Structure 1
């Protein structure tokens, strides 16, 4: 019987095991080197010369999203106005005219708001199913695939929107584009992948600041997109700016493929469509994950409490942010476009001032106390907004919110430290879904509260937001006090 017959009868793994024992010393060295290479994540085709990793991915994706949102809303307004034969413009109570509101304008406003709601709910509903699936899958398959897929989905959405604008298709096709993006993970998968990547590549000490850098990228990108999009839309309409939306989404996917090094050793057998990924997400909050805490129930409680804090903080951010422009446009402030632009810039600059403040405070304070100080900054600013009746007072509120964004990176970091390194994708996918829920809840609650309280206090929604923030402030402070007390007891000799 020749060698080929033997190989056909004896299993391949047996032959491999036998041949491994007979390797020469130099062959063993080569085998060890091959095993070491196989235990490393694959390298991308190119190496980025700058000291960055996924920051450009999040920056470009956020730029695309921020540029797209107002353009699509304004297109819906103009398209619905054209279909209904309405040629007027929106009036404000600061205008000199005293004519009653045009019923046709009211219908245009209602239909635009409804379509915005349908598109947001459609993306959220699909994302609620897809994002946890992809986030948990990334713990096995790697972070690069979900970042590429999600950005390609955003690119496809931009393509659909451009086709709708060129061909003047029914606005229902906007919903179709949003659903296609949701099926590939949407922007929430980009968030989950980027934050999980930072958790993979940072130690516990530096993680909070690394997360804060990513959040600063969100703020800076949003500020630039708001400035560029408004000016470009006024000069050239919708279509040319939307080509930039498509280009930045595609550039984010290409950058990920070409330059981002994988942070997880991919498992070739990882399957995307399986209920195992949903079970992994459920396991985080039911079993508490892996931790060094002595009490599993305490660990699970902290996971739920920090998630609740994150939900409340982001809901207030999303809900109050939508009221700033409306509050500034109306009496008694009656701001014009220039002042509104300065206010928006001041709001986005809080991302950078929060990053600097967090870095400085970390030298002398625990992360929890940094978050509490950030929440106090936010609370005082909101209280000033609630009574602001002059431009100076409004900008004073913006100034007091200079540590606005220190709480969310601390909460993301604390949640990340409560789970096993192999569960970071599942965790941040859950956090991204919570963030989408925050947007829907915050938008619904605050946009309903504002007109309902105009008759007794115009700034009441801001006061309400400041009261809500007292809850996470108390929870974070209490958990830190409990932690310090337990550490003191354990360090005290018996």
Structure 2
């Protein structure tokens, strides 16, 4: 069988399966907690009338109680998975510089399959919902979403030499991620209404099974492996090599480049923390009064939210022709701030949908920052770089969900939109650091000479680093 150098299908199927399941989790937890805490059946009216017809003080108190319990459940789930996910992401993506990118793609798919089986069993047999926390922890030991992204972006960096091509290709990967996740989110509401929770989960499981076959047997490896005898060795030596690869990114760079790289990593971290943390409580916010959205409306909302990946790709494609990367990131951050502020005060379905409009360019910072960082390190350091990026992304995502879930539980009674205002305020930090990046500017000549010298040295030795 002839292999393909196309990693986009893997990420597309992974995104579709993940976002077919992802909106189900808070809704399933919310319904189970509603039944357990109120001893009543959860209403699934399509028009949101359950808020209107049950707008008593007692019903409002029930909503607040379930909201707090659901947000705390999200907190416990994230805390249980954050440490293994960080460790595995860092080691696997850095290790891919030596043993290939496919390991960072295959293992997250396996982890998802295990989580889907656990979710299906809990839903079908109505087991204790807290078993989902254990399933999330086990799944995180295979790397998860951040590992998949780190591996895919390292794969793309291996295939792209031109700086502009790399930016557009990474933006295209983000677009594929967004479009497929949007389609999945749109399908979830109708699928849930028609068939319940079990069939969507089983469908996601089947898609990921196909994805695993493609990744193992069709996808080509971009890192050429040496003989297996040359890569064996004690585990502690392997870990030392991985740590050394990450260290060398900063040790061999000029002071200006090191400063730029640290600043861009901090911008990426704070942006991801603010953006993902705010969006993580959107479903609970939509289930709460006065919106009280049904699963159909939640599906439409999720689809519109992920539509921004397409508009952000168009934005990168257009702006990259006449604007520097720093300006593109700045526009994306302003888009996030405007959208979060509008969401904080959304009290009707129309306004909640319109709040997605200011965020049409909100995904632009991520691929552009990845391209900027990738362009100032050598080809042999791409895996180590994206290991750092993926680790930071995993850390920011998990910590953000835990922090924003706990804050939402504490503020839902008096101002449910507080988390969105907080997310917008936190975006001021990456905006200020972005100004420092613009003032410093990359030392293009010095870094180009360093990268050329390293690559020429690597070609002269004609050898692959040994672990």
TM-score, normalising length: structure 1: 0.77
- 5 Å matches for 1:17-28? none
Mapped partners of 1:489, 1:196: distance in 2 = 24
Mapped partners of 1:406, 1:94: distance in 2 = 39
Deviation at 1:301, TM superposition (A): 2.2
Counterpart for residue 216 of structure 2: 257
Which stretch has the larger CA shift, 166-175 or 120-129? 166-175
Change (3 A) 1:94 1:344: farther
Deviation at 1:233, TM superposition (A): 1.8
Deviation at 1:384, TM superposition (A): 3.2
Structure 2 residue 100 is matched with structure 1 residue 142: yes
Structure 2 residue 196 is matched with structure 1 residue 240: no
Counterpart for residue 64 of structure 1: 17
Counterpart for residue 464 of structure 2: none
Structure with the greater relative contact order (CA < 8 A, sep ≥ 6): 1 or 2?
2
Q: Deviations over 1:350-392 (max 9, x none)?
A: 1101101110111111111111111122223333334445655
- Structure 1 gaps of 5+ residues are 1-44
- 5 Å matches for 1:30-109? 45-47=1-3, 53-77=6-30, 86-89=39-42, 94-101=52-59
Mapped partners of 1:153, 1:386: distance in 2 = 35
Which stretch has the larger CA shift, 461-470 or 332-341? 332-341
Counterpart for residue 318 of structure 2: 360
Q: Deviations over 1:10-42 (max 9, x none)?
A: xxxxxxxxxxxxxxxxxxxxxxxxxxxxxxxxx
Q: Deviations over 1:257-302 (max 9, x none)?
A: 23211111113233597345554564466553476x5x2x332222
Structure 2 residue 414 is matched with structure 1 residue 463: no
Which stretch has the larger CA shift, 158-167 or 79-88? 79-88
Deviation at 1:313, TM superposition (A): 0.9
Q: Deviations over 1:79-118 (max 9, x none)?
A: 5667779333379765543141598887766665555444
TM-score, normalising length: structure 2: 0.81
Structure 2 residue 235 is matched with structure 1 residue 274: yes
Structure 2 residue 297 is matched with structure 1 residue 344: no
- Secondary structure of the 1:444 match is helix
Match of 2:338 among 380, 384, 402: 380
Deviation at 1:194, TM superposition (A): 0.7
Counterpart for residue 205 of structure 1: 164
Q: Which of these two proteins has the greater Rg computed from alpha carbons?
A: 1
Which stretch has the larger CA shift, 152-161 or 277-286? 277-286
- 5 Å matches for 1:68-467? 68-77=21-30, 86-89=39-42, 94-101=52-59, 113-171=71-129, 173-203=131-161, 204-267=163-226, 268=228, 269-271=230-232, 274-276=235-237, 278-279=239-240, 282-283=243-244, 286-289=247-250, 295=254, 297-328=255-286, 340-388=298-346, 393-450=351-408, 459-467=417-425
Change (3 A) 1:168 1:116: same
Count of residue correspondences:
439
Q: Is the 8 A contact 2:34 2:42 kept in 1?
A: no
- Secondary structure of the 1:288 match is helix
